[in-house]
Amino acid sequence: MCSVGGPMDVELAERLKGKKYRCNDCGTTFEAVGRHPVCPSCQSENVTLV
- Separation in Å, CA 38 to CA 8, 11, 21, 42, 50: 22, 25, 9, 8, 14
Residue 40 Ramachandran class (φ > 0 left, ψ -120 to 50 alpha, else beta): alpha
- The more confidently predicted of residues 6 and 33 is 33
Mean pLDDT over the full length of the chain = 85
* Cβ count near 11 (within 10 Å): 7
Range of the domain at 35: 18-49
| pTM exceeds 0.85 for this model | no
Q: How far apart (Å, rounded) are the C-alpha atoms in residues 44 and 32?
A: 13
- For residue 5, is it within any domain? no
Examine the pLDDT at 33 and tell me if it is beyond 60: yes
Number of domains within the chain: 1
- For residue 7, is it within any domain? no
- For residue 2, is it within any domain? no
Per-residue pLDDT of 7-26, as tens digits, reads: 655 565 567 789 999 999 99
* Amino acid found at 23: C
- For residue 13, is it within any domain? no
